[in-house]
Homo-oligomer: A and B are copies of this chain.
């Protein structure tokens, strides 16, 4: 509320409320603006006494440094581009944490939203046009070649997916994550455990192979049902399963949405979850946490992933790291109420399973 000051000062009607600059402070204190700059940049040079006076006057005048000027002089923008499909609640959550983390380091996030009409390539171009100094790509499906070319222009962090080349990677061990789910349901006595796949993407493939490996480890046969990450796929998968002579006792879905579609369709035909069939999702999205669903899922630690991604950017930009880094976090199983012990009734038909 110092508006009054601004409005009244400088008699003339124009009242152009010019912002306070370093020169103003310098004039008032009786030093050069270079010195004022040094004080604000906290570099060695100015005496303690001068430093104090400058800061006092700056405060008094209500000085706010002009980022634009500083960044232009440094030939920098302090902008980090984040590409995300914000409709995905997981991405939205990540974006929130990324913004916070970037802010802490004095960086600003420019959001590039991927939509059906605005593909990944276009979004990346836009972000580069804004002169972002680094890119954080959430769940990108861009090819290795494209990513590598990109990485030569600007530091790139890929979140969620395994990639080679000179990009940094932050992800959770999807294979292991699904593995813990398999362990969990096996521990509950299940033997016929199906996996509702997420389709062709890298992430889906990781989850699928994690499932296959874990099943093998337990000496069980893998049973993959094709699908994708939508609830529609879950519905279809349910129908496909119901058409079989024998239902699996547990289904591990590739994500929460498809798990929900699956559950709904199974319930519709009168099956109880988890008494008749146990179902798990993946992502631990707000959907999974919804009280009425209470879906067993796997948490991907968005907050931690966001922090690591921003750290990776800072290391490259401000600390000169050049070799690529890969950070793999451990996902966490969240057991809720859609998975339960295999019940006696379904145990019957199960004959010669080793």
A residues neighboring B (CB under 8 Å)? 1, 3, 64, 66-69, 71-72, 77, 86-87, 89, 92-93, 95-96, 99-100, 103, 108-113, 115, 118, 126, 129-131, 149, 152-153, 231-232, 235, 257, 260-261, 263-265, 268, 286-287, 290-293
In the assembled complex, which residues on chain B have CB atoms less than 8 Å from the CB atom of A66? 72, 131
Minimum Cβ distance to chain B for residue A172 (Å): 20
Are A286's CB and B3's CB within 8 A? no
**13 extra interchain contacts, Cβ-Cβ under 8 A, other than A86-B92, A86-B96, A99-B113?**
A3-B152, A66-B72, A67-B131, A68-B77, A87-B92, A87-B286, A95-B111, A100-B115, A235-B292, A261-B291, A264-B292, A264-B293, A268-B292
Are A110's CB and B108's CB within 8 A? yes
Closest to A117 in B: B100
Tell me the bound Cα distance from A103 to B100 in angstroms. Answer: 22
Are A96's CB and B87's CB within 8 A? yes
Please name 16 pairs of A and B residues whose Cβ atoms are closer than 8 Å in the assembled complex, sorted by A: A66-B131, A67-B130, A68-B77, A86-B86, A86-B96, A87-B93, A87-B96, A87-B286, A99-B111, A99-B113, A109-B111, A232-B291, A261-B291, A261-B292, A264-B292, A264-B293
Closest to A69 in B: B72
In the assembled complex, which residues on chain B have CB atoms less than 8 Å from the CB atom of A92? 86-87, 89, 92
Quickly give the copy total for this chain: 2
Are A115's CB and B130's CB within 8 A? no
In the assembled complex, which residues on chain B have CB atoms less than 8 Å from the CB atom of A292? 231, 235, 260-261, 263-265, 268
Tell me the bound Cα distance from A90 to B344 in angstroms. Answer: 44
Are A291's CB and B115's CB within 8 A? no
In the assembled complex, which residues on chain B have CB atoms less than 8 Å from the CB atom of A264? 291-293
Tell me the bound Cα distance from A170 to B264 in angstroms. Answer: 37
Are A108's CB and B130's CB within 8 A? yes
Tell me the bound Cα distance from A235 to B293 in angstroms. Answer: 12
Q: Could you say which of B64, B263, B286, B291 contacts A129, with CB atoms under 8 Å apart?
A: B64
In the assembled complex, which residues on chain B have CB atoms less than 8 Å from the CB atom of A112? 99
Tell me the bound Cα distance from A296 to B65 in angstroms. Answer: 51
In the assembled complex, which residues on chain B have CB atoms less than 8 Å from the CB atom of A257? 290
Tell me the bound Cα distance from A113 to B257 in angstroms. Answer: 25
Return the 6 tightest CB-CB contacts between A and B, nearest first.
A264-B292, A92-B92, A96-B113, A68-B72, A86-B96, A231-B291
Minimum Cβ distance to chain B for residue A118 (Å): 7
Tell me the bound Cα distance from A287 to B69 in angstroms. Answer: 45
In the assembled complex, which residues on chain B have CB atoms less than 8 Å from the CB atom of A263? 292
